[in-house]
Amino acid sequence: MENNLLTEKWLTVISRQGDKRKVSLPELFSELERNDVADFPALLPHQRGPFHVFLVQLACHALETSGAAEHLPDPTPEEPWKLLGQHSPDEWRQMIRGIVPGYFEQFPNDEPWCLITNDLSKPAFLQCPVPDAKFTASKSIIKRPDDLDLMISSKNFDIKSDTFQNAQTEDWFFALISLQTNSGFLGRGNYSCARQNGGWAQRPIFTLQSSSSPGARWGRDARVILSCKGSDEDALFQVCENTDDKRLLWLDTWDGTTSYELSSLHPLFIEVSRRVRAINKNGKLFFKKAPSACPRIDIGKTCGNLGDPWEPIVSDAKGVRVFSSSLDYANIAKIITGEETIMPNLLIRFHKGIDNAKGLQLWCSALVKGQGKTEGYFERLIPVDAQKKHNRHDLWQAAQEMLNHADVAKRSVLAVAVARFLSCGHEGAGNNAIDWDSSVIKNCLPRVRDRFEKDIDNKFFEYFWTVCDGIQDGRVTDPNYLVPWQDYLRKLIRDCYQFAVSSLPCNTSLIVKASALGELTLNCLIAKYFPLQKGNG
């Protein structure tokens, strides 16, 4: 049975040449440094973020404890996968083992890196040692990786569970990382991970990238974290200062009744949130699980703000907490600008000498969780213009102007015109007035608004950086800086109105009148709020 991550080859990668092969974890790190990994075919979409974070955290721990972090090569922004140097698989294997002082005295058989360790008094990969009698009494058996993982969909409609009929070892590996580092609260005894604002919140993962290859993203993030250690502007490594801070939280025995204090943990700790152990049953891999009476980490009233470098932090009248809102254009605009309510996290800042300004993108991912369920995985790439210098205030001013115009277009123009069409297109509508409380408007208008919002979400950042170019130090330097955005909104309003006229219900005998009045209202409101400027048609 495939078991040891450090010595056995059972992680499947696809090379940049398209070849599929099996590698060990140290070999994977060495290949990432050579940018020779294009994809992980067994990795599910919602597992990508947690797996990336795990790889970066582990690399940082290995490089820091070995002293290699003090001798990193000169930055090469054009080749971010080289930011950590070039190490052989044997060197990575030695560095990973060296994260734990006195490793071989404690773990002569690589127990912390084996999926199955039969001796329950010793750890297994992402599995804490457990008191034998208590854990073996558990009758809860997990037979497939998709039952271990946390993609619980409403009524099992979205992504069905219990479907892995021929699961491979790496399927369990990815599911275990997802479970232990990205879990939400799932009822009594099943607590969430620490790095999120509450049990039903999300653990957002945001970072910049100039290349989409796994090695480039991995090398860049690890280099930024290691280079910013101890700097005054970054609080990441100021959470705790003890040299004995715990890094791998599955090494200590856990009976489910005790919690770690934050002061004892390294800021980049790799956590475990659930009590599970892998077992070999008739030559097949299964997991047993047991409840816990408390979460593994006592985060107190931090609201998940533990200095995680991938998470934006909200700071407002309600306090300081991890960002947990949707990944729509308005919220991401706030994160990019970092004005007033959002403090940008370490990894979405442009780091001169490390980041390549050409082709820069913001990678955002989040698994949205709910009460006893997940509500979808969201991932998006946002273009970032780092070649021109924009201060935060100018970015926020541009974003506010664009958001305000979009809101006017949706509420004051499109909604009114569609509501006029719907009101005039149904029997009983008097004096062509808009009855905002009518069932037809309440039921139909959200469909049009959703169509509008979806299109805005897809296009907002294509226009954002152009609008930013028209503002310098709070002053408008180009009087026409908003014209492209206004032109787009004007066209979108008309497209969404035509969608409403062609798809929403209307009395056949009244459709001509309703269409005419709706069109008249639309034209008047566009002329009022989005008048044509000289030279734009």
Q: Is the pLDDT of residue 243 over 70?
A: no
CA distances from 462 to 41, 206, 291, 467 (A): 31, 19, 48, 10
> What token pair was written down for 117?
């360790």
Q: What is the pLDDT of residue 232?
A: 47
Q: How confident is the model at residue 426 (pLDDT cuts 50, 70, 90)?
A: low
HSE of 116, CA atoms in CB hemisphere, 13 A: 17
8 Å CB contact between 380 and 406: no
Structure tokens at 98: 């060296």
Q: What is the pLDDT of residues 220-240, one digit of tens each?
A: 999 999 998 655 455 454 434
Residue 437 confidence (pLDDT): 86
With contact defined as beta carbons under 8 Å apart, do 178 and 162 qualify? no
Measured distance CA(308)–CA(267) in Å, rounded:
7
Average per-residue pLDDT in the chain?
88
Q: Longest C-alpha distance within the chain, in Å?
A: 88
DSSP secondary structure letters along 197-248 = SSTTS---EEEEES--SHHHHHHHHHHHHHHTTT-TT--GGGS---TT-EEE
CA pair distance 30, 9, nearest whole angstrom: 13
User: Token pair for residue 275?
Assistant: 């009590």
Q: What is the pLDDT of residue 165?
A: 63
DSSP 69: G
CA 203 remoteness from chain centre: 7
Q: Which structure tokens are listed for 48?
A: 């990508």
Name the token pair of 428.
């009983």
| In contact, 255 and 134? CB cutoff 8 Å | yes
Is 392-529 in CATH node 1.10.287?
A: no
In tens, the pLDDT along 142-182 reads: 988 988 886 555 444 444 444 556 789 999 999 999 999 99
Q: Which residue has the tokens 């491979």?
A: 168
Tokens of 457: 């979400």
Which residues, in sequence order, are CB contacts of 200 under 8 Å at separation 6+? Answer: 184, 185, 192, 369, 370, 371
Domain range list for the chain: 11-383, 392-529
Structural tokens at position 284: 């097949």
**pLDDT reported for residue 151:** 54
Q: How many Cα atoms sit within 13 Å of 481 on the Cβ side?
A: 20
The pLDDT value recorded for residue 31 is 98
Mean pLDDT of 415-428: 82
3-class SS string, 117-179: CCCCCCCECCECCCCHHHHHCCCEEECCHHHHCCCCCHHHCCCCCCCCCCCCHHHHHHHHHHH
Q: Which of 312, 33, 392, 349 is nearest to 23 (CA)?
A: 33
Extract the tokens encoding 513. 């009148």
DSSP structure class, residue 184: P
Edge-to-edge strands, sheet with 275-281? 140-142, 284-290, 275-281
Angle, vertex CA 130, rays to CA 303 and CA 140, nearest 5: 85
Residues 6+ apart with CB under 8 A from 139: none
Q: Which residues pair with 127 in a beta bridge?
A: 124
pLDDT surpassing 80 at residue 343: no
Q: Which of 13-22, 196-205, 268-277, 355-364 has the lowest mean pLDDT?
A: 196-205
Residue count (the chain): 537
| pLDDT tens digit sequence for 211-220 | 999 999 999 9
DSSP single-letter state for residue 86: -
What is the predicted pLDDT for the residue at 262? 92
At residue 422, the pLDDT reads 87
Residue 376's pLDDT band (cuts 50, 70, 90): confident
Amino acid at 190: N
Two structure tokens written together for 15:
């090379």
